[in-house]
Amino acid sequence: MKKNTFSLIDNRTGKNYEYPILDATRGPSVLDMRTFFKDSDMFTYDPGFTSTASCTSEITFIDGAKGELRYRGIPIEELALNHSYLETCYLLMTGELPDKDTLRDFDLEIRHRAFLHEGLRHLFAVFPDNAHPMATLSAAVTALSTFFDDHETCQDEAGYQEMARRIISKIPTIAAFAYRHSLGIPFIQPDIDLGFTENFLTMMRAYPGGKMHLCANGHETIKEVEIRALDTIFTLHADHEQNASTTVVRGVASTGAHPYVAISSGISALWGRAHGGANESVIAQLEMIGSVENVETFIQRAKDPNDDFRLMGFGHRVYKNFDPRAKILKNLQDELREELHLDNELMSIARKIEEIALSDDYFISRKLYPNIDFYTGIILTALQIPKTMFTPIFVIGRTVGWITQWIEFKKESSSKIARPRQLYKGN
Ligand code: CMC
């Protein structure tokens, strides 16, 4: 028997199968089962991929038991506290944090690429008023692929980087246009004098042709503290290894489709409330609960096995101790409490839920802790962002992760089309 292998015995026949163990640089080792079907004429069964590594990756590392998240080896705390979202994008895409000059050039390029083709602007007009911005966003990103139909010919590093930089720059413009269309108000073009995050907030809020803002909280310009809070939220969402939407992006990539179509599919996958849509659902749920006195009733509902009500913003497939992104946002909430007027009824309900759930055996025994989405909604509400835009904001942050994972997939020589099998139980 070879060392660093794993043996499986078929107890029906006594036949022994041996598979190589692939060691990770960090985290659990992986059993290489690629020849299992050929060897045994059986499939492995793992719905929801709870025990399956679907690829090799060098981008993001999570230790769910320790509550650890790293992009390219750098802890998320270090990035969120000491680096901007754009620095984080550069890190994810290239593996290195940029130096001062590189960051200046990268930032300038991102600003200049933020404009949309005039033809694409007209697409928004076909959607009804009140169209959810996630639907418009997904459609517009698919449409973007028709304006940049060069992916078959740009299969080198420069071509991949071009695809990535373009989509990272344009996604805030598309999201802001989707929002303004949902209100029936004119679009605001990107302003190349503004950085990534301030530009997005301006495209959301500004009156056409002026510096007054549509829904600012009693002030006319965007505050520095608001830019910092949103920039941190983008950084915390930038990548999260093989989550549901990234798995969708890689799956579409495996068919050879255009990267923006893959990202559009990722946007659709993210929309669900078990994934990125949870941030919108958290605030909707807090509003439904309505007051601190009602919290206990809803906690009981969440614990009832016969009720499908779940506490939104609680639980995670990978984090079983705490979500480090949630911890950073909780600290940010405390820090910004006064400046962003966070002391309101929704905040009190959220605190009550947190307090009860963290001491209740149902949640403790199932290792259900508040996740990132539990805290983003409160901060985004304070930034005057309506709840339908919460998941689009997740999209803006995550686009760099999706496109970086797409590039990694394209460069991996052993990449194959995603084609799982099934346990057939039909007639
Ligand atoms: N409220 C009440 N009970 C819950 C919750 C919740 N939010 N989440 C899980 N449970 C219970 C579940 O009923 C099950 O109980 P039992 O063992 O008695 O059947 C147990 O905990 C395990 O749940 P699961 O559904 O098997 O766990 P999962 O790993 O498949 O699902 C999850 C993870 C995030 C989809 C789930 O916890 C959930 O639906 N949470 C609410 C939605 C949410 O906040 N999603 C955002 C995730 S973080 C952002 C992102 O990265 O996408």
Tell me whether residue 316 is one of the annotated catalytic residues. yes
Residue having the nearest C-alpha atom to atom 14 of ligand 1: 366
Tell me whether residue 181 is one of the annotated catalytic residues. no
Does residue 6 surpass a pLDDT of 90?
yes
Does residue 216 surpass a pLDDT of 60?
no
pTM of the model: 0.94
Does residue 254 surpass a pLDDT of 90?
yes
Residue 213: per-residue pLDDT: 58
Q: If you average pLDDT over residues 227-249, what whole number do you get? A: 97
Neighbours of 101 (CB within 10 A): 8
Query: What is the SS3 string spanning the chain?
Result: CCCCEEEEEECCCCEEEEEEEECCCCCCCEECCCCHHHHHCCCCCCHHHCCCCCCCCCCEEEECCCCEEEECCEEHHHHHHHCCHHHHHHHHHHCCCCCHHHHHHHHHHHHHCCCCCHHHHHHHHHCCCCCCHHHHHHHHHHHHHHHCCCCCCCCCHHHHHHHHHHHHHHHHHHHHHHHHHHHCCCCCCCCCCCCHHHHHHHHHHECCCCCCECCCCCCCCCCHHHHHHHHHHHHHHCCCCCCHHHHHHHHHHCCCCCHHHHHHHHHHHHHCCCCCCHHHHHHHHHHHHCCHHHHHHHHHHHHCCCCCCCCCCECCCCCCCCCHHHHHHHHHHHHHCCCCCCCCHHHHHHHHHHHHHHHCHHHHHCCCCECHHHHHHHHHHHCCCCHHHHHHHHHHHHHHHHHHHHHHHHHCCCCCCCCCCCCCCCC
d(CA 24, CA 15): 29
CATH of domain 45-427: 1.10.580.10
Cβ–ligand 1 contact at 329 (below 6 Å) = no
Between the CA of 210 and the centroid of ligand 1 the distance, in Å, is: 45
Q: If you average pLDDT over residues 133-147, what whole number do you get? A: 96
Between the CA of 254 and the centroid of ligand 1 the distance, in Å, is: 29
Cβ–ligand 1 contact at 66 (below 6 Å) = no
Cβ–ligand 1 contact at 373 (below 6 Å) = yes
Question: Closest by alpha carbon to 382, among 218, 271, 272?
Answer: 218
Q: If you average pLDDT over residues 63-74, what whole number do you get? A: 96
Per-residue pLDDT tens digits for 39-51? 999 999 999 999 9
Q: Using CB atoms within 10 Å of the CB of residue 320, give its burial: 0 to 12 exposed, 13 to 18 middle, 19+ buried.
A: middle
Residue 90: per-residue pLDDT: 98
Pick the CATH number of 1-42 from 2.20.28, 1.10.3470, 3.30.300, 2.60.40: 2.20.28
Per-domain residue ranges for the chain?
1-42, 45-427
Q: What is the dihedral of CA 336, 338, 339, 343, to 10 degrees?
A: 80
pLDDT higher at 209 or 117: 117
Between the CA of 135 and the centroid of ligand 1 the distance, in Å, is: 25
d(CA 275, CA 269): 8
